[in-house]
Amino acid sequence: MNRLEVNIMFSLKSPYHVSADRVSFGVDKAICLDPRDNRIFIPATSLKGIIRHNLESTLNHKNKKSCIAPKPENMCNECNICKFFGSPKNKALLLFEDARVEETELSSRMGVAIERRRKTAKEDHLFSYEIGFGKRFSTKIRGFFSKDNDAITACVLLYIGAKLGFALGAGKSRGLGWVNIEDFNTFINGKEIFIDEINKKTMELLQ
């Protein structure tokens, strides 16, 4: 059995929207505020969904066989994404952990609702929202595979999905929540897989 461990560090390029995003049972949110320590975190399910979406878009753009989650009728249960990220018929082989934001600071901003048809500000529609500041957040992803090649393929898929960059939470059009990858460390059975090899495998997969 081959054990994969991937540690990813993301850098936050802008503040992020956290209003009303307290932890709620049974509700998935892109960014949550943990009431126990008032720290921001990104739930594992949200991060997994974002990386999967980026990966699906990339592979389909390259004319590689890839399903489009989450509708079961659009999923084949046989492609690499279904195999490693899961599908209605397959248990996911990759296990994501919640990502914690370092050194969280919270602040409030004011905004005004926009009349979309006229593209003008609505009268008496001033509102406030809470934003968070942080430099980076990190997460760990694990998996166990019977074949060494599957562990490497899973690593490459994660790298492709994470490297594209993305935005978390609300307010994307206002420039909030934009994220880039800062560091990507991979170990298979305790042995580090260097980024040059990952880049090489990425090029092979996308050709």
Residues 48-68: tens digit of each pLDDT = 988 998 998 888 887 766 676
Q: What percent of the chain has pLDDT over 90?
A: 29
Pairing of strands 105-115, 120-133: antiparallel
Residue 147: which residues within 8 A CB-CB, separation 6 or more? 2
Angle 5-49-173 from CA coordinates, rounded to 5° = 125
HSE (CB half, 13 Å, CA atoms) of 173? 2
pLDDT > 60? residue 27: no
Mean pLDDT of the 83-103 span: 86
Q: What was the pLDDT predicted at 128?
A: 55
Provide the mean pLDDT of the chain: 78
201 near 149, Cβ under 8 Å?
no
pLDDT > 60? residue 22: no
Crossing angle (nearest 10°) for helices 195-206 and 148-163: 90
pTM for the whole thing? Answer: 0.77
**Confidence at 7, pLDDT banded by 50, 70, 90:** very high
**Confidence at 183, pLDDT banded by 50, 70, 90:** very high
Picking from 39-48, 56-65, 124-133, which range would have the lowest pLDDT averaged per residue? 124-133
41 near 168, Cβ under 8 Å?
no
For the chain, give every domain's residue range: 2-206
User: What digits encode the pLDDT tens for the residues 131-167?
Assistant: 666 678 899 999 999 998 999 999 999 999 998 877 7
pLDDT > 80? residue 45: yes
